[in-house]
């Protein structure tokens, strides 16, 4: 027999084997079930450590689940172990047992996080990721006592931005379902809420990761129209008529026309005619070169995510609209690029904002506060009960807080406390920063009412930026959230296991939880 023929037969056998295993993988079903740690360190796990679902699986397997787990050292919090052969009636079943940490863990006030929920998110994410890597495309998830957190961990862990790859290079689609067995809970409103919240955050992550040539101001508005068909898209003439000259100054260096997006979200069950709205304002710089004050080239590609504020407020409004929203919400997003074109603003230029205050522009890379200034002034026209602006505003915020928490500036104790509670529940913390008059004084200049950067003394960049914004709103219940540290534009130094990749979409879920808490 000739060599070419032997090679041909071997190749046929290999291809046939590969198709066989691919067929098995396509039919494979995975489940994720939980295991709490034993109170006694290094003691073997017992049925008392199992969730209702894992206990049922253990009984069906004749105790095999616990036997296999106890062959090795105890399962750590947030880790997982894959087990096979637990269901003789379904040999394709693959089980990931995940470590949930302490049983009945609650809020850790010093860490400002719900330990029980965040442990579930981390553990379920580890289990789902492991099953996906094993080729499983249908995964059923144990609620582990917190159905919303389990759904969030599963869905957030599966996100990847690969839409621009060739089809064959993309990750396979994985279906997530709640695991319902005898004696376990059926799918609940809490599970659905977790799915909506996680999908909303993934939506924000997708927008932030889209390259700037694909997500222009015009395209962002088109994306918004798909979610909110009644969205209002304002053009350059309307922006000029409104006197938003600070916004137009930033847009002047780009060939992409600026847009001002306005979305009104009505609650489903409450008459909102006489209700003062909540206004969410998002920074929508779809790419930030820094303008004439150009940024260094290293990592400038990450500036495609400088519209993270816009992405999170739009995604949060959408998520809340799909759940039990009781308060009218208005979303305002100024959208532009910051480019060094021939018409670009120059250091030293002076422009007048919508509220009549003049601004000297000493650094064109401090552009986010300029477009937000006009948007905040416009927000006043709705007589809002609360105004929250969200922005990837200052690198100083990442230096101050890293990726551990979003910085919050507000004169309102009540609103901060409500946000803090929402962040604790979502595992996405907020930390309050000062709004002293000291910082406002640093933004004054002799040739205009304000300067867009502080007097030439080092430090407090996030605080001075917030102080600048406070000059453009009359709402007593105003909140500024600087997300530059948590959004993913800078590599996080406190990586969250269930949020992989670059852009994080934070703090979308926390904002949704806060919106749902409003009466």
Q: Report how far residue 321's alpha carbon sits from residue 329's, in angstroms, rounded to the nearest whole number.
A: 9
| Residue 133: other Cβ atoms inside 10 A | 9
H or E stretch at 4: helix 3-27
Q: Which residue has the tokens 């260096």?
A: 253
| Residue 223: other Cβ atoms inside 10 A | 17
Is the link from the previous residue into 507 a cis peptide, with omega within 30 of 0? yes
Burial class (CB in 10 A: 0-12, 13-18, 19+), 184: middle
Longest CA pairwise span in the chain (Å): 94
The dihedrals phi and psi of 426, each to the nearest 5 degrees, come to -85, -10
What's the token pair of residue 368?
């986010």
Question: Catalytic pick from 132, 192, 276, 295?
Answer: 295
Residue 276 annotated to the active site: no
DSSP SS3 for 86:
coil
According to DSSP, residue 507 is labeled T
Q: H helices of 252-367, where?
A: 308-321
Beta-sheet strands, E only, within 232-283: 232-234, 259-265, 278-282
What's the token pair of residue 118?
């965040």
| Residue 272: other Cβ atoms inside 10 A | 15
Residue 369 annotated to the active site: yes
| Residue 489: other Cβ atoms inside 10 A | 24
Tell me which residue of 515, 519, 506 sits closest to 317, measured CA to CA: 515
Question: Catalytic pick from 304, 369, 429, 442?
Answer: 369
> How many residues in the chain?
519
What positions carry a catalytic annotation? 295, 369
């Amino acid at each position: 027999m000739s060599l070419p023929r032997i090679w041909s037969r071997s190749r046929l056998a290999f291809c046939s084997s590969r198709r066989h295993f691919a067929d098995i993988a396509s039919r494979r079903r995975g489940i994720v079930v939980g295991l709490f740690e034993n109170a006694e360190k290094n003691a073997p796990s017992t049925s008392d450590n199992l969730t209702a679902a894992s206990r049922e699986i253990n009984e069906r397997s004749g105790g095999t689940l616990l036997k296999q787990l106890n062959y090795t050292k105890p399962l750590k919090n947030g880790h997982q172990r894959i087990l096979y052969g637990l269901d003789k009636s379904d040999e394709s079943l693959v089980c990931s047992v995940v470590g949930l940490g302490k049983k009945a863990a609650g809020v850790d006030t010093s860490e400002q996080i719900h330990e029980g929920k965040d442990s579930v998110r981390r553990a379920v994410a580890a289990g789902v990721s492991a099953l996906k890597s094993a080729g499983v495309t249908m995964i059923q998830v144990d609620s582990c006592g917190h159905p919303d957190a389990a759904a969030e961990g599963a869905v957030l862990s599966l996100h990847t931005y690969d839409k621009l790859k060739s089809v064959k290079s993309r990750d396979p689609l994985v279906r997530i379902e709640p695991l319902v067995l005898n004696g376990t809970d059926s799918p609940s409103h809490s599970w659905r809420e977790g799915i909506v919240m996680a999908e909303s955050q993934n939506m924000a992550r997708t927008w932030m990761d889209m390259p700037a040539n694909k997500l222009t101001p015009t395209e962002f508005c088109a994306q918004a129209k798909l979610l909110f068909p009644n969205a209002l898209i304002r053009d350059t003439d309307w922006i000029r008529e409104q006197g938003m000259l600070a916004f137009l100054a930033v847009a002047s260096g780009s060939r992409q026309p600026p847009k001002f997006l306005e979305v009104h979200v009505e609650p489903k069950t409450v008459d909102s005619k006489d209700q003062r709205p909540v206004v969410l304002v998002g920074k929508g710089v779809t790419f930030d070169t820094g303008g004439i004050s150009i940024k260094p080239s290293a990592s400038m590609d990450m500036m495609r995510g400088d519209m993270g504020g816009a992405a999170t407020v739009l995604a949060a409004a959408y998520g809340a609209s799909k759940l039990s929203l009781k308060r009218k919400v208005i979303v305002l997003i100024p959208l532009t690029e910051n480019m060094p074109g021939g018409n670009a603003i120059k250091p030293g230029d002076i422009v007048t904002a919508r509220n009549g205050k003049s601004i000297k522009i000493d650094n064109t890379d401090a552009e986010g506060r300029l477009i937000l200034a006009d948007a905040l002034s416009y927000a006043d026209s709705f007589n809002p009960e609360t105004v929250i602006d969200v922005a990837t505003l200052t690198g100083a915020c990442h230096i101050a807080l890293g990726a551990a928490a979003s910085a919050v500036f507000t004169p309102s104790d009540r609103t901060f406390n409500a946000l803090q509670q929402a962040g604790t529940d979502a595992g996405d913390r907020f930390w309050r920063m000062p709004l002293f008059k000291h910082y406002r004084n640093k933004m004054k200049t002799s040739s205009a009412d304000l300067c867009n950067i502080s007097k030439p003394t080092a430090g407090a960049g996030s605080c001075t930026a917030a102080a600048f914004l406070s000059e453009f709103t009359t709402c007593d219940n105003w909140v500024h959230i600087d997300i530059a540290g948590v959004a993913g534009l800078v590599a996080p130094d406190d990586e969250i296991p269930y949020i992989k990749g670059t852009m994080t979409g934070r703090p979308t879920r926390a904002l949704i939880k806060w919106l749902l808490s409003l009466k």
